[in-house]
A = this chain, B = another copy of it.
Amino acid sequence: MANNDSHSGKRLTLKDVAAKADVSPITVSRVVNGYDGVRANVREKVEAAIAELGYIPNRSASVLASSKSKLIGVLIPSLSNVVFNDVLRGIYDIATPANYQVLLFNTHYSAAEEERAIRTLLGQSPEGLIITGGEQTTAAKAMLQASAVPVVQIMGEVDNPIDINVGFSHFDAGAAVAQLLLDKSYSKIGFIGARMDRRTCERLAGFEHVLSAANSLDKTRVITTPEPSSVSKGALLFRELMTITKGDCDAVFCCNDDLALGVLHESKKMQLKVPEKFGICGFNDIEMAAYAEPALSTVRVNRYNMGSKAMEVIFEKITSPGDKTTPIANYINTGFELVTRKSTR
């Protein structure tokens, strides 16, 4: 931290650069924004002045005057969940090269915090919004509708998309896992879940749906907690499952890999043979899943793609304003994939 160098106090503006380069402010503006119609020698003169002065354009003024913000608002429910890392990477990898900025909010799985974030975000003329899931408050939805800003709801398949929806069906994914375990001849299948947000509940619903149809559903084998998930929580919940069912359980679907890794760890301590006597399936396919012993069966979801697709769709919307001839699909299914490894028969 230090003082401003020469022009201490006052912030440098277009005018200062213009004076130095002996042109008008608007010409400087044109150079800054890379307009073609500026003579080469003038451009060079201006660029030299900018460099010499160390001029940095004031973005607030620019946004105010042009109402172009190059800003994308992103709302995710958690910063601890590694799942969102990949999603964010996908978003940034598309946004940054296009010179768009990302304003990220952590909503802590709270619709109220989300609404507050949406409000502040909307005050900054964002050119697009990426939000998680479809459980916004009605007030938030109304604001979004009224704003006319492209909105992408990511992660899950939502019921009435505000605008565009990029994700996959967690119900189907949960169902697929149940079917997989059934196919592997497990019959007393439990469920371990933490946090229990909307999408986790949907996975559970799909899972229960299939088990129920196969007459294999026993809800005492469903152990959940609203607390955040972790490896240690997985171990804890697994012990609970085994206590409650008195060990009458031969497989478990964990709502994410962290939990599953904890279950795996604990099952070894219990000397439970995985996968022969006990099958474990996780969710997300984090890198460690492949390196667990036995390697963890899980469900691969295209996290990075959800992020990059969301950004791409926003750019499509931005660049084809009101173009009704080439409608953009309002649901993009990023799918999922069962990954069977050694933790299931």
Q: Which residue of B lies closest to A89 (CB)?
A: B79
The answer to whether A101 touches B120, judged by C-beta atoms less than 8 angstroms apart, is yes
Asked if A198 lies at the interface with its beta carbon under 8 angstroms from chain B, I say: no
Contact check, B59 vs A124: say whether CB atoms are below 8 A apart: yes
- Kindly report which residue of chain B lies nearest to residue A289, judged by CB atoms: B231
**A291 interface residue (CB < 8 Å to B):** yes
CA separation between A92 and B147, bound complex, in Å? 26
Q: How many residues of A contact B (CB 8 A)?
A: 65
Distance A338 CA – B90 CA, assembled complex (angstroms): 35
Among the stretches A60-68, A175-183, A213-221, A272-280, the one at the interface with B is A60-68
A3 in complex: contacting residue of B67, B82, B105, B148, CB < 8 Å: B148
- Chain A interface (Cβ < 8 Å from any Cβ of B): 1-5, 11, 54, 56-61, 63-64, 67, 69, 79-80, 82, 85-86, 88-89, 92, 96, 101-106, 119-120, 122-125, 142-143, 145-151, 162-164, 230-232, 235, 258, 261-262, 265, 268, 287-288, 290-291, 293, 317
Q: Which 5 A-B pairs have the closest CB atoms?
A: A60-B63, A1-B163, A2-B145, A60-B64, A59-B123
Known pairs A1-B163, A60-B63; list 17 more (Cβ under 8 Å).
A1-B148, A4-B147, A56-B143, A57-B123, A59-B123, A60-B69, A60-B124, A79-B88, A79-B89, A101-B120, A102-B103, A231-B288, A231-B290, A231-B291, A232-B287, A265-B291, A293-B293
